[in-house]
A and B are shown apart, each in its own frame.
Chain A
Amino acid sequence: MSNAKDVTEATFQTDVLDASKPVIVDFWAEWCGPCRQLGPILDQIAEEHADKIDVVKVNVDENQGIAAKYGITSIPAVYVFKNGEHVATSIGAKPKPVLEKEFAEYL
């Protein structure tokens, strides 16, 4: 998992939906091997694109309501939110250049 800030059901509105910058949300869980692989990559993206986006993470086990609301059935699931809207999705652990390409519009 990444070092990104944990977002919960209590803070999702403020940290994601009301954020001024686009936000990359990493839906993850303890038991998910590929989530562990993806974490350090999202950390790098967070660091290199800090001026453009925020990166946060949601533990789906502890926040099942959010996971259900956004129809998560596969993790790692990486969603981009902009102005409160879900605008892009990437499923699975992917190398950094692949993610950067998929999310190019927001980086």
Chain B
Amino acid sequence: MKRKGTTPVASVQNDEIRDVIIVGSGPAGYTSAIYTARANLSPLVIAGSVTAGGELMNTTDVENFPGFPEGIMGPDLMDNLQKQAERFGAEILFDDVTNVDLSGDIKKVTINDGTVYNAYSVIISTGSAYRELGLADEKRLSGKGVSWCATCDGFFFRDQQIAVVGGGDSAMEEALFLTKFASKVFVVHRRSELRASKIMADRALAHEKIEFVWDSEVVGIDGDPKVTGLRVKNRHTNDETTLDVTGVFVAIGNDPRTDLIKDQLELTPEGTIAVDGRSSQTSLKGVFAAGDVIDSKYRQAITAAGSGCAAAIDVEHYLADLKTPAQAAN
């Protein structure tokens, strides 16, 4: 992904009030940037310093994004979305938001260096973060055999046995990708059937290098200083076995990234930002949300993009109403 040169900016309180600030730069963020830019709203996208491009930056082939019959690499797709947003005048900042104040008519968004940006409206599209197993071993062995990024780390496990934990599309994608390197890939799943889409499940089930370990959960990871085994327990028999692996790839799902806003916006019981019906309207006026951060169900690049489009249109209507001279009362 190409970036403009970053110049350190002194901490400043900007007086300028923008129409819209977009926090996040996955398919939802960039799609809302394309649409708001085309509506002449000159969006500012705060893309994130290391999370820019979102989850697709860590994937390889995206085969289900409409319009790419041969598939497209995740990072290439995000690069395209970024360019498309920039073409229509979106300003993109590769920095991290540290604080937001969403309560007033003028929303305030603070980034890492202390700069505060003001806007009449904000779109929160912060996506989701990898879920962890929650084991002490996982932290201890992170970077020493425990990984969250198959595309980054598969290379280091050539001709070794590894395990993928999870049963969804991401887990199948990782397992299939890792067969290029590993001699054998165990897929450890809590249930006896996969959540993954049929096509991904069938591919994984048919692969000669992949062995499924059903109804099992991870109870520990062995090794010091590096992973030497994965301890799993069968949920029905309570039998514990140790898989002889040097790598463990965790793909057990994602949680919406709501740290920034959780004290200001209403959340759903699933932990996503609550929005009104099919709109992107959050519990505060002028604040809209899109993508995985509002979606615990579909969580696809294309649904995120669609939701980013909806947020942009909601923003456009909100600003139009805001800027219409107030009807005389009485």
Give the interface SS of chain B, mostly helix, strand, loop or mixed. loop
Residue in chain B with minimal CB distance to A94: B50
Cβ contact of A74, chosen from B52, B57, B75, B143, cutoff 8 A: B143
Task: Report which of B50, B149, B153, B156 forms a contact with A95, defined as CB distance below 8 A.
Answer: B50
Contacting residue for B153 out of A36, A75, A97, CB 8 A: A75
Q: How many residues of A contact B (CB 8 A)?
A: 31
Whether, in the assembled complex, A89 has its beta carbon less than 8 Å from a beta carbon of chain B, the answer is yes
A95: chain B residues at CB < 8 Å are 49-50, 96, 112
CA distance A49 to B237 in the complex (A): 57
When A71-B226, A94-B50 are in contact, do A34 and B142 touch as well, CB less than 8 Å?
no
Closest to B153 in A: A74
Q: Which of B147, B152, B247 has the most CB of A within 10 A?
A: B152
* Distance, CA A72 to CA B145, complexed state (A): 9
A37 on the interface (CB 8 Å rule)? yes
Complex interface: chain B residues within 8 A of A71 (CB): 144, 225-226
| Interface footprint category on B | 20 to 34
Chain A residues, CB < 8 A from B94: 40
A79 to B49, CA, bound (A): 20
Contacts of B145 in A (CB 8 A): 73
* Nearest chain B residue, comparing its CB with the CB of A38: B50
Decide if B214 is an interface residue (CB 8 Å cutoff): no
B155 adjacent to A96 (CB under 8 Å): no
CA distance A41 to B112 in the complex (A): 13
Give, as a whole number of angstroms, the nearest-CB distance from A55 to chain B: 15
**B88 in the interface, Cβ–Cβ < 8 Å?**
no
Inter-chain CA distance A61–B156, complex, in Å, is 10
Q: How far apart sit A71 and B247, CA to CA, in the bound complex (Å)?
A: 13
Mask, A30-50, CB within 8 Å of B = 1, is 011111111011001000100
Chain A residues with Cβ under 8 A from B96's Cβ?
Answer: 95
Closest B residue to A92 using CB positions: B143
Given A67-B156, A73-B247, A91-B142, are A34 and B6 neighbors across the interface (CB < 8 Å)?
no
Say yes or no for B242: interface residue by CB 8 A criterion: no
Q: Which residue in A74, A93, A97 is a CB contact (below 8 Å) of B147?
A: A74
Residues of A close to B50: CB separation below 8 A: 34, 37-38, 41, 93-95
Q: A74-B144, A93-B50, A95-B50 are in contact. List 7 more A-B contacts (CB 8 A).
A: A29-B155, A34-B50, A37-B50, A48-B8, A73-B153, A89-B143, A95-B96
Q: List 21 A-B contacts (CB under 8 A).
A: A32-B152, A33-B53, A34-B152, A36-B1, A36-B75, A37-B50, A37-B51, A37-B53, A41-B49, A71-B144, A72-B156, A73-B143, A73-B147, A73-B226, A73-B247, A74-B152, A74-B156, A91-B142, A95-B50, A95-B112, A96-B112
